């Protein structure tokens, strides 16, 4: 399975692609960032992120996309930009019919380091070890994107099976069963 991880951001949107599967060690396909200038208009920045994500999706042809869920931050402006960039990636993947996994930062950290409270340095270190890289990808957004891809590679199939096994719910019906 090939997974594109997206660490959304308006200034730096991390993108990382890994291949892997049951009984196989995960391997790096590609890693990088889409950069925009803080002085540009938000619409132009979102267009640049959208074009970058589209270009990656067309080139690397992933089987799934993993995007970091936005979490509450003190800076509302930062959280809005992150959410908007994440939405751009989700829409690009959805247009292609790709499965999308959304993960919180603590879920990703726990998947790659064993601790949901790991810092960026620990995540970068573990990504380096897990993918047998000579050094941690830079900037940290790139390493975070690879961590997202690894998280989905390991957790995505199990989550999909759980969703498929959950009975459908009907809105407004007590108990939710049809």
Catalytic residue chosen out of the listed positions 7, 54, 58, 63: 7
Specify if 82 maps to a domain.
yes
What pLDDT, on a 0 to 100 scale, did the predictor assign at position 178? 44
Binding site for Mg(2+): which residues? 7, 68, 141
Domain that holds residue 19: 2-165
Please answer whether residues 10 and 82 qualify as being in contact, where contact means their C-beta atoms are separated by less than 8 angstroms.
yes
Specify if 51 maps to a domain.
yes
Q: Over the Cα atoms of the chain, what is R_g?
A: 17
Averaged in consecutive runs of 10 residues, what is the pLDDT profile of the chain (178 residues)?
Answer: 97 97 91 97 98 98 96 77 96 98 96 95 97 96 98 81 68 52
Specify if 177 maps to a domain.
no
Catalytic, 141? Answer yes
Please answer whether residues 23 and 44 qualify as being in contact, where contact means their C-beta atoms are separated by less than 8 angstroms.
no
DSSP class of residue 38 equals T
Specify if 121 maps to a domain.
yes
What pLDDT, on a 0 to 100 scale, did the predictor assign at position 7? 98
What pLDDT, on a 0 to 100 scale, did the predictor assign at position 172? 59
Specify if 25 maps to a domain.
yes
What's the total number of domains in the chain?
Answer: 1
Catalytic, 41? Answer no
Would strands 64-68 and 2-7 be described as parallel, antiparallel, or unpaired?
A: parallel
Residue 2 phi/psi, 5° resolution? -110, 130
What pLDDT, on a 0 to 100 scale, did the predictor assign at position 55? 98
Catalytic residue chosen out of the listed positions 19, 40, 68, 144: 68
What pLDDT, on a 0 to 100 scale, did the predictor assign at position 156? 74
The pair of three-digit structure tokens given for residue 139, joined into one six-digit string? 């900037």
Binding site: which residues? 7, 68, 141
Specify if 89 maps to a domain.
yes
Specify if 174 maps to a domain.
no
Catalytic, 7? Answer yes
Instruction: Note if the pTM is more than 0.95.
Output: no
Specify if 139 maps to a domain.
yes
């Amino acid at each position: 399975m090939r997974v594109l991880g997206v660490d959304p951001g308006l200034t730096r949107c991390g993108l990382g692609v890994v291949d892997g599967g049951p009984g196989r060690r995960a391997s790096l396909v590609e890693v990088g960032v889409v950069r925009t200038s803080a002085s540009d208009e938000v619409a132009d920045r979102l267009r640049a992120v959208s074009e970058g994500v589209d270009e990656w999706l067309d080139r690397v042809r992933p089987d799934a996309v993993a995007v970091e869920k936005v979490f509450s931050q003190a800076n509302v402006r930062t959280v809005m930009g992150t959410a908007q960039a994440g939405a751009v990636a989700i829409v690009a993947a959805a247009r292609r019919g790709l499965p999308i996994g959304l993960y919180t930062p603590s879920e990703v950290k726990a998947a790659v380091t064993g601790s949901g409270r790991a810092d960026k340095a620990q995540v970068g270190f573990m990504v380096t070890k897990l993918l047998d890289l000579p050094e941690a990808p830079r900037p940290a957004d790139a390493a975070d994107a690879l961590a997202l891809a690894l998280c989905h590679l390991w957790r995505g199939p199990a989550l999909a099976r759980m969703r498929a096994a959950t009975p459908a719910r009907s809105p407004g019906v007590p108990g939710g069963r049809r």
